[in-house]
């Protein structure tokens, strides 16, 4: 593949256009450019400042209320630190590297809401150099710097709900994998494909939707395989090396969970349950992009608009590297839509690919403006104004809780997060450190906020909706751990969900009603 790439650079007009890309002052901000040590140092400083920008933009949300999902991750991470094994002892359907990010944050900063949020901001910042490196590898110095700057600035879109969720931690290994794959595609050196397989697999073990990046690479290579007979052997080798890299990255997880008698639990959580979870939504919902939500759409409108222009320009270029960027972005969109749910934070996976496309779109907009064709430029300026107004509105809120309310709008997790501290305080006051408690509901952040142990590995009742037989396991757990408090949290304060008869019978026998706090009914164990 390397010889073919070299020939293309010599003869393909699209590649010649890329090679002749005017860089101007961009070269002064290129850490790997041919300039003097001073200019390269200037480039390093610029890249460091861009890498710090996501954390700066996310800083007003670091102390926002903890989401239920974040509470699950924090509870499992703390349990893992204490010797419990994820999936076997504490269950969730997210991938294990996510919990390791939380564990690292707690080891560094202590158990707090702030710690994983700060770690998420740092992970986003560490992704910036890989966006830069990918853009530079595929399209040159100017595109690399613009892509890094646009990606970093796009975190001003607070409405896309970047918290300490799986998507933001997934970005770092996923984009690093794209960079490695780009180097392999450009140079033909097989080692880069091995590294791309390792890094992309690590992204999958952070959130499973990163698997669509593998599909995107596979489609891109399959098209080349069909069109370029001379490259078929190299492409097969590249695909095999990517597979080997993925196996290499997966092996430590397989060995760990196998030796802890948890491999089947891992498989069920990561594969079987998520298949069921994605299948519960009608097929037509999988065709609806999450960005139909107005807040994250308008909150980042200028970046999405520039990306749309860039997608068009990449299609016009039509070279293999343009199609690689398009394939990555297209399958990031597939990943965001694959569950058929419209949660805003699913679109976080689009941000790197959108930044690469936007870095192609922005110079074209400026070029048209310079030629006095002001229509496109005026449209982009309008989207920029909308983005700035949306950002100013959320940043102007006086407290992190109020910013959080604006960020999440009417989403049910917003209400859950706001009332959780009061419920957690009540649970903590009714129990002692080391006590077990159990929640029937969806507010799993209460375990972490109250600093109490879950009485069952099923931290919430989502899985019960798929397999009611799981309640039998929960009841066995409750008989064994004898939780000091059981609390029933309801989706709405004035709405009482149906509680299974087995659980209500158990409560009638062993517990007494202790009152209601916010949307939670609390029951305290009666001394036997």
The CA angle 11-13-18, to the nearest 5 degrees, is 105
Query: Among candidates 113, 116, 147, which has minimal Cα distance to 129?
Result: 147
Query: 520 - beta bridge partners?
Result: 489, 517
State the Cα angle at 355 between 353 and 358, rounded to 5°: 110
**φ, ψ for residue 516, nearest 5 deg:** -120, 135
Find out whether 404 and 417 touch, Cβ atoms under 8 Å.
yes
Residue 499: φ, ψ to 5°: -105, 135
Retrieve residue 455's tokens.
């009485």
The 10 Å Cβ neighbour count of residue 222 is 12
Copy the structure tokens of residue 301: 């409108």
Which single residue is written with the structure tokens 């903590």? 428
Q: Which helix (H) or strand (E) holds 34?
A: none
b/e map 11-31, b = 16+ CB within 10 Å = ebeebeebeeeebeebebbbb
The pLDDT profile of the chain, 528 residues, written as one tens digit per residue, is: 544 443 343 334 444 444 445 555 566 667 777 777 777 788 888 899 999 999 999 999 999 999 999 999 999 999 999 999 999 999 999 999 999 999 999 999 999 999 999 999 999 999 999 999 999 999 998 999 999 999 999 999 999 999 999 999 999 999 999 999 999 999 989 999 999 999 999 999 999 999 999 999 999 999 999 999 999 999 999 999 999 999 999 999 999 999 999 999 999 999 988 888 777 788 888 888 888 888 899 999 999 999 999 999 999 999 999 999 999 999 999 999 988 888 899 999 999 999 999 999 999 999 998 888 889 999 999 999 999 999 999 999 999 989 998 988 766 677 888 999 999 999 999 999 999 999 998 889 999 999 999 999 998 887 787 778 888 999 999 999 999 999 999 866 444 557 888 999 999 999 999 999 988 999 999 976
Backbone angles phi, psi at 439, to 5 degrees: -115, 130
The domain segmentation of the chain, as residue ranges, is 2-12+26-61+93-393, 412-525
DSSP characters over 159-213? GG--SS-HHHHHHHHHHHHHHHHHHHHHH--HHHHHHHHHHHHHHHTT-GGGHHH
Burial class (CB in 10 A: 0-12, 13-18, 19+), 110: exposed
Q: Are 420 and 449 in contact (CB under 8 A)?
A: yes
Task: Write the DSSP string, 54-123.
Answer: HHHHHGGGTTSPPPHHHHHHHHHHHHHHTT--BTTTBB-SS-HHHHHHHHHHHHHH-SSSHHHHHHHHHH
- Strand arrangement, sheet containing 436-440: 453-454, 436-440, 485-489, 520-525, 511-517
**Could you tell me if 80 and 103 are in contact, meaning their C-beta atoms sit under 8 angstroms apart?**
yes
With vertex at residue 326, the alpha carbon angle to CA 141 and CA 195, rounded to the nearest 5 degrees, is: 70
| Kind and range of the H or E run holding 453 | strand 453-454
DSSP element (H, E) containing 413: helix 412-429
Look at residues 297, 360, 316 and name the one whose alpha carbon lies nearest to residue 150.
Answer: 360
Give this prediction's pTM.
0.91
Reduced to 3 states, what is the DSSP secondary structure of residue 455? coil
Angle at Cα 444 formed by Cα 441 and Cα 448, nearest 5°? 150
Of 213, 185, 215, 186, nearest to 200 by C-alpha is 213
Q: Which residues, 6+ apart, have CB-to-CB distance to 29 below 8 Å?
A: 42, 43, 46, 47, 145
Give the whole-angstrom CA distance, residue 379 versus residue 436: 57
């Amino acid at each position: 593949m390397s010889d073919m790439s070299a020939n293309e650079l010599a003869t393909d007009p699209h590649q010649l256009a890329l090679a002749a890309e005017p860089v101007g002052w961009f070269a002064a901000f290129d850490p790997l450019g041919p300039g003097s040590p001073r200019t390269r140092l200037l480039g390093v400083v610029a890249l460091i400042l861009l890498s710090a920008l996501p954390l700066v933009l996310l800083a007003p949300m670091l102390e926002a209320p903890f989401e239920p999902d974040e509470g699950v991750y924090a509870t499992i991470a703390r349990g893992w630190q204490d010797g419990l094994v994820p999936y076997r002892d504490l269950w969730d359907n997210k991938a294990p590297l996510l919990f390791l990010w939380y564990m690292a944050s707690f080891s560094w900063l202590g158990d707090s809401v702030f710690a994983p949020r700060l770690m998420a901001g740092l992970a986003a910042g560490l992704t910036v150099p890989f966006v830069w490196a990918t853009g530079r590898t595929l399209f040159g110095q100017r595109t690399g710097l613009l892509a890094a700057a646009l990606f970093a600035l796009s975190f001003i879109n607070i409405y896309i709900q970047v918290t300490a969720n799986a998507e933001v931690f997934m970005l770092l290994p996923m984009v690093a994998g794209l960079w490695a794959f780009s180097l392999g595609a450009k140079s033909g050196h097989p080692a880069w494909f091995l590294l791309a397989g390792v890094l992309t697999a690590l992204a999958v073990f952070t959130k499973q939707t990163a698997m669509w990046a593998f599909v995107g690479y596979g489609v891109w290579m399959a098209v080349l395989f069909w069109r370029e007979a001379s490259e078929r052997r190299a492409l097969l080798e590249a695909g095999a090396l990517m597979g080997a890299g993925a196996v290499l990255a997966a092996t430590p997880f397989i060995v760990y969970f196998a030796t802890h008698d948890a491999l089947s639990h891992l498989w069920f959580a990561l594969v079987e349950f998520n298949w069921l979870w994605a299948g519960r939504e009608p097929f037509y919902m999988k065709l609806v992009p999450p960005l139909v939500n107005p807040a994250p759409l308008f909150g980042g409108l200028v970046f999405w608009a520039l990306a749309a222009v860039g997608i068009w320009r990449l299609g016009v270029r039509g070279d293999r590297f343009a199609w690689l960027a398009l394939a990555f972005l297209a399958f990031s969109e597939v990943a965001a839509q694959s569950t058929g749910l419209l949660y805003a934070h699913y679109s976080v996976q689009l941000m790197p690919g959108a930044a690469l496309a936007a870095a192609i779109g922005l110079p074209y907009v400026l070029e048209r403006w310079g030629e006095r064709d002001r229509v496109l430029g005026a449209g982009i300026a309008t989207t920029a104004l909308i983005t700035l107004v949306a950002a100013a509105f959320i940043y102007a809120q006086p407290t992190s809780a109020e910013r959080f309310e604006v960020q999440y709008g009417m989403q049910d997790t917003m209400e859950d997060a706001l009332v959780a501290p009061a419920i957690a305080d009540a649970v903590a006051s009714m129990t002692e450190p080391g006590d077990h408690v159990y929640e029937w509901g969806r507010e799993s952040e209460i375990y972490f906020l109250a600093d109490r142990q879950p009485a069952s590995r099923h931290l919430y009742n989502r899985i019960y909706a798929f397999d009611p037989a799981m309640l039998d396991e929960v009841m066995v757990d409750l008989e064994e751990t004898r939780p000091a408090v059981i609390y029933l949290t309801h989706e709405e304060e004035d709405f009482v969900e149906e509680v299974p008869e087995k659980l209500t019978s158990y409560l009638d026998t062993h517990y007494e009603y202790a009152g209601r706090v916010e949307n939670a009914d609390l029951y305290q164990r009666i001394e036997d």
